[in-house]
Amino acid sequence: MSVLGAGGRRPPLARQVVVVTGASSGIGLATARMAAARGARVVLAARSADALAEIRAGIEAAGGQAIDVPADVGKREDVERVAARAVEAFGGFDTWVNVAGLTIYGPLAKVSDADHERLLRTNLWGTVLGSLVAVEHFRTRGGGGLINLGSVASDLPFPFQGMYVASKHAVKGFTDALRMELLQEGLPVAVTLVKPASVDTPLPQRARNYMEREPTLPPPVYAPEVVARAILHAAVHPQRDIYIGGAAKLMVATKEFAPGAFDYLAPAITAFQKRSRPPEHPEGALHAPVQAGAVRGGQGALVLNSSAYTRASLHPLALTGLAAAGLALGAATLLGPRPRRR
């Protein structure tokens, strides 16, 4: 198996134990349910004990196998307990997926230090602790798969979500550095970073909100199941990085091509993050779990349930073929028809 996760193949999901943090809502919940439906034994981890118990019961009622472990991923002892329960119940785990995450809406200067610290403890420190605990288990097991949830914000800045952006930039840096160290060590752990664009989860409703309006997601918005399918694909067919949505890749390319021009999009990006109505739950779930148990966030008809770009990127040969076809078409268009010889 490739340490870098490029081209290696791991056991099918039906033969895997998969740990999912942030499993009580959104992408984590979609991933856990989908993994269980495909035969994996699932370890559910999140702060909300009641929601986890209900989710586990639903998985078992559908014929799946799961255990629930209430945990705050920002605390090492909680993360170690998740791993220990997986070993106790299933003999260990094959793939660890770090999904747990929160956000804050508002100008950086107005956000309290306590709120900044809490976000970083969940988004960054939770990913760090989950990764390190998982890797230590993989050392005893002889390898495994680690999948971290980054974001298009791992590569791009967004005003009014500054600390979320900082956390996702840091998750990317940490994940890339850890991958290099594992390669140097020769430990066969496949490390994947998944970077979605906007996803229709309860993230805005659960956000700590300093704005005068209810927060929302900038378009385009993808369904959580699109991300879950990519995560579970990587659990069997590891890849280094996976962008969710062609829009994510396009935005990153735009920023790289014209970084100064991208900065001037700040007013438009800020406007796209505000609804017309006043804030409903400004405290959110930053310091205590609320509104757990939902996969979707209520974006309705605006949600894209698939991404041709992501599907192609999960199959590199197909993506190469699409790229080659696009280049050929572009060349033909630029060159135009060749004149006939007389």
pLDDT in tens, 14-73: 999 999 999 999 999 999 999 999 999 999 999 999 999 999 999 999 999 999 999 999
Residues 154-213 pLDDT 10s = 999 999 999 999 999 999 999 999 999 999 999 999 999 999 999 999 999 999 999 999
Query: What is the structure's pLDDT at 316?
Result: 64
Q: Which of 164, 210, 222, 243 is catalytic?
A: 164
- The mean predicted confidence, pLDDT, of the chain is 90
- Rounded to 10 deg, the angle between the 76-90 and 126-141 helix axes is 40
Q: What fold, for 13-307? A: Rossmann fold (3.40.50)
Q: Which of 149-163, 226-240, 261-275 has the lowest mean pLDDT?
A: 261-275
Residues 298-332 pLDDT 10s = 887 689 999 999 999 998 665 555 545 544 544 44
Of the pLDDT bands very low, low, confident and very high (cuts 50, 70, 90), residue 116 is very high
- High-pLDDT (> 70) share of the chain, %: 89
200 versus 337: the higher-pLDDT residue is 200
- High-pLDDT (> 90) share of the chain, %: 79
The question of whether 164 is a catalytic residue gets the answer yes
CA-CA distance, 72 to 79, in Å (whole number)?
A: 7
For the stretch 57-66, contacts whose Cβ atoms lie closer than 8 Å and that sit 24 or more positions apart, written own/partner, are 58/33, 59/32, 59/33, 62/36, 62/37, 64/36, 64/37, 64/39, 65/36, 65/41, 66/32, 66/36, 66/41, 66/42
What single string gives the DSSP state of each residue in 63-98?
T-EEEEEE--TTSHHHHHHHHHHHHHHHS--SEEEE
Query: Across-strand partners of 195?
Result: 243
Token couple for 154: 């791992």
